[in-house]
Structure 1
Amino acid sequence: MTTTKARTFRELMNAPEILTVPSAYDALGAKVIEQAGFAAVHMTGSGTSASMLGLPDLGFTSVSEQATNAKNIVLAVDRPVIMDADAGYGNAMNTWRAIREFERAGIVGCHLEDQVNPKRCGHLEGKTLISTEEMCGKIEAAVEARVDPDFTVIARTDARESFGLDEALRRSREYVAAGADCIFLEAMLTVDEMKRVRDELDVPLLANMVEGGKTPWLTTKELEAIGYNLAIYPLSGWMAAASVLQKLYAELRDTGTTQGFWGKYGLGMTFPELFEVFEYGRISELEQRFVRGQD
Structure 2
Amino acid sequence: MNDAGDPVMSDKEKMTRRLRRLLEEPGIIRSMGAHDVLTALLIERAGFETVFLGGFGASASLRGLPDLGFLGLEEMAAAVERMARRISIPLIADGDTGYGGPPEVERCVRAFEDAGAAGILLEDQVFPKRCGHFDGNAVIPAAEMVAKLEAALEARRDDDFVIFARTDARQSEGIDSAIERINLYCSAGAEVAFVEAPQSREEIAEIAARVEYPKFANMLSFGKTPLLEAAELEEMGFKFVVAPIETLLVSARAIELLAETFLRDGSSEARKEEMMRFEELKEVLELEKYLRLREENDSGDAGE
Query: TM exceeds 0.5?
Result: yes
| Greater mean alpha carbon deviation, residues 6-15 or residues 147-156 | 6-15
* Within-5 A mapping of 1:190-269: 190-263=200-273, 267-269=274-276
Q: Which residue of 2 aligns with 1:16?
A: 26
Does the CA contact (< 8 Å) of 1:45 and 1:234 recur in 2?
no
Aligned equivalent of 1:60, options 46, 70, 77: 70
CA distance in 2, matches of 1:247, 1:180: 43
CA distance in 2, matches of 1:171, 1:55: 30
TM-superposed CA distance for 1:146, in Å, is 0.6
Q: Which residue of 1 aligns with 2:179?
A: 169
Q: TM-score, normalised by structure 1?
A: 0.95
CA distance in 2, matches of 1:269, 1:159: 41
Q: Which residue of 2 aligns with 1:139?
A: 149
CA distance in 1, matches of 2:167, 2:259: 39
Does the CA contact (< 8 Å) of 2:52 and 2:93 recur in 1?
yes
**One-letter code aligned to 1:287:** R
Aligned equivalent of 1:151, options 161, 164, 169: 161
**One-letter code aligned to 2:276:** M
TM-superposed CA distance for 1:211, in Å, is 0.2
The RMSD of aligned alpha carbons is 1.4
Cα gap change, 1:88 to 1:3, in 2 (>3 Å): closer
TM-superposition CA deviations, 1:168-202 (whole Å, max 9, x none): 11111210122100110011112221122121111
The gaps in structure 2 that reach 5 residues or longer are 1-11
CA distance in 2, matches of 1:3, 1:85: 19
Aligned equivalent of 2:192, options 167, 182, 194: 182
Aligned equivalent of 1:107, options 114, 117, 140: 117
CA distance in 2, matches of 1:71, 1:96: 18
CA distance in 1, matches of 2:13, 2:83: 20
Q: Which residue of 2 aligns with 1:35?
A: 45
TM-superposition CA deviations, 1:71-114 (whole Å, max 9, x none): 11101111010111111111111111011000000001011110
| Greater mean alpha carbon deviation, residues 154-163 or residues 187-196 | 187-196
Q: Which residue of 1 aligns with 2:280?
A: 273
Q: Which residue of 1 aligns with 2:61?
A: 51
Does the CA contact (< 8 Å) of 2:13 and 2:158 recur in 1?
no
TM-superposed CA distance for 1:16, in Å, is 1.8
Moved over 6 A (4+): none
TM-superposition CA deviations, 1:116-171 (whole Å, max 9, x none): 01101111100011000110011011101111101110110011111111111111
| Greater mean alpha carbon deviation, residues 285-294 or residues 182-191 | 285-294
Q: Which residue of 1 aligns with 2:294?
A: 287
**One-letter code aligned to 2:80:** A
TM-superposed CA distance for 1:294, in Å, is 6.3
The gaps in structure 1 that reach 5 residues or longer are none
CA distance in 1, matches of 2:200, 2:25: 25
Does the CA contact (< 8 Å) of 2:53 and 2:94 recur in 1?
yes
Does the CA contact (< 8 Å) of 2:13 and 2:160 recur in 1?
no
Does the CA contact (< 8 Å) of 1:205 and 1:229 recur in 2?
yes
CA distance in 1, matches of 2:180, 2:286: 48
Does the CA contact (< 8 Å) of 2:33 and 2:242 recur in 1?
yes
Q: TM-score, normalised by structure 2?
A: 0.93
TM-superposed CA distance for 1:269, in Å, is 2.7
Does the CA contact (< 8 Å) of 1:14 and 1:229 recur in 2?
no
| Greater mean alpha carbon deviation, residues 190-199 or residues 126-135 | 190-199
CA distance in 2, matches of 1:269, 1:213: 28
Query: Does residue 73 of the first structure (1) align with residue 83 of the second (2)?
Result: yes
Aligned residues: 291
| Greater mean alpha carbon deviation, residues 187-196 or residues 30-39 | 187-196
**One-letter code aligned to 1:138:** K
